[in-house]
Amino acid sequence: MIKLENIVKTYGSKENRTYAVNEVSMNIDDGEFVSIMGKSGSGKSTILNIIGCIDSATSGTYYVDDICVSDMSIGKRKKFLRENISFIFQDFALIDDYTVYENIEVPLIAKGKSRKEKKATIKKYMNMMGIEKLARKYPNQISGGEKQRCAIARALASGNSIILADEPTGALDSENSKNVIEILKQVNKLGKTVIVVTHDINVANATNRIVKLKDGRIVE
Ligand X SMILES: Nc1ncnc2c1ncn2[C@@H]1O[C@H](COP(=O)(O)OP(=O)(O)OP(=O)(O)O)[C@@H](O)[C@H]1O
Under rule CB under 6 A, residue 211 binds ligand X: no
Q: Which does 139 bind (CB under 5 to 8 A by kind): ligand X, another protein, Mg ion, none?
A: none
Here's the x/- map for another protein, 80-119, by CB under 8 A: it reads as xxxx-xxx-x---xxxxxxx------xx--x---------
Q: How far apart are CA 97 and CA 95, in angstroms?
A: 6
For residue 142, which of 94, 105, 181, 177 has the smallest C-alpha distance?
94
49: helix, strand or coil? helix
Establish if 38 lies at the interface with ligand X (CB under 6 A): yes
Nearest residue to Mg ion on Cβ basis: 45
Nearer to another protein, 24 or 50 (CB): 50
Determine, following the binding rule CB under 8 A, whether residue 134 of this chain makes contact with another protein: no
Site membership for another protein, residue 171 (CB under 8 A): no
Comparing CB distances to ligand X, the nearer of 38 and 145 is 38
Closest CA to 193 of 68, 65, 94: 65
- Which x/- pattern over 27-66 shows residues binding another protein (rule: CB under 8 A)? ----------------------x--x-xx-----------
How far apart (Å, rounded) are the C-alpha atoms in residues 18 and 129?
A: 41
- Residue 207 carries which side chain, given as an amino acid letter? T
Q: How many residues bind Mg ion (CB under 5 A)?
A: 1
**Binding flag, residue 11, ligand X (CB under 6 A):** yes
Question: How far is Cα 213 from Cα 22, in angstroms, rounded to an integer?
Answer: 10
Among 22, 42, 45, 179, binds Mg ion (CB under 5 A): 45
What does the H/E/C string look like for 113-172? Answer: CCHHHHHHHHHHHHHHHCCHHHCCCCHHHCCHHHHHHHHHHHHHHCCCCEEEEECCCCCC
Residues 45-104 that bind ligand X (CB under 6 A): 45-46
* Least distance CB 59 / ligand X (angstroms): 16
CA Rg, the chain, in Å? 17
For the CB of residue 106, give the shortest distance to another protein in the complex, in Å: 6
Cα(198)–Cα(181) distance, integer angstroms: 11
Q: Rule CB under 5 A: is residue 49 a binding residue for Mg ion?
A: no
Q: Which residues bind ligand X (CB under 6 A)?
A: 11, 18, 20, 38, 40-46
